[in-house]
Amino acid sequence: MTFIVAIDGPAAAGKGTISRAVAAHFGFAHLDTGLLYRAVGVKGGDPVEAARNLTEADLARDDLRSMEAGQAASRVAAIAEVRAALVDFQRSFAGRAGGAVLDGRDIGTVICPDADVKLYVTASAEIRARRRWLELGEGADFADILAQVRERDDRDMNRLDAPLKPAEGAITLDTSEMTVEDAVARAVAEVSARR
């Protein structure tokens, strides 16, 4: 039996945390699709070639969670040929038996438009920048991080190919004022209601 949960949203909204928790709760496989784009972005060289030759080892790099990797991911994700090269990988993962949770920017709109559950996790730019700032720790400049968050949102939401937006029928979770526990509980309840 396949059961697909698509979780989309902007950077630092909480979709990764929620996705991992939902996958663990139901025993589903989890794919952070942003890692695919981050890996392509940090590989350097021709991004289309990097996407076509992406390996599991590329997803295990320890520099994929950096702000630089996130910015690189956003830039290469705007390239239609890169997106096309990664679609099959994502759809194959989603179709595995036992259920799958995929999180990213276009899971419910492009990769799995027929997902059993579609969530759109969001939060204000200021809240998301604060989360990133706290993650990065001492020495991080909040104003710079906020500017990067807004720049990335603009690029992700206004790209021609698969722009970031809520999928048709998606349930929006605004985590701006939610605790992690509350956000996870709400997501688990939405998935439970549709199983």
Which domains, ranges and CATH numbers included, belong to the chain? 4-188 (3.40.50.300)
Q: Nearest CA to 69 among 30, 111, 11, 125?
A: 11
Which tokens sit at 88?
């099959």
pLDDT of residue 118: 98
> What pTM does this model have?
0.87
Per-residue pLDDT of 149-184, as tens digits, reads 999 899 889 988 889 999 999 999 999 999 999 999
User: Which positions make up the binding site?
Assistant: 9-17
Rounded CA separation 76/144 (Å)? 21
Rounded CA separation 33/51 (Å)? 12
pLDDT of residue 111: 95
pLDDT of residue 135: 86
pLDDT of residue 70: 85
Could you tell me if 141 and 134 are in contact, meaning their C-beta atoms sit under 8 angstroms apart? Answer: no
Instruction: Count CB atoms within 10 A of the CB of residue 94.
Output: 24
Per-residue pLDDT of 18-59, as tens digits, reads 999 999 999 999 999 989 999 999 998 999 999 999 887 888
pLDDT of residue 174: 97
pLDDT of residue 91: 93
Tell me, what amino acid is at 136?
A: L
pLDDT of residue 41: 94
Name the strand (E) or helix (H) holding 181: helix 180-194
Per-residue pLDDT of 123-139, as tens digits, reads 999 999 999 999 888 88
Per-residue pLDDT of 56-101, as tens digits, reads 788 889 999 887 898 898 889 889 899 899 998 899 899 999 999 9
User: Which positions make up the binding site for ATP?
Assistant: 9-17
Q: Is the pLDDT of residue 1 over 80?
A: no
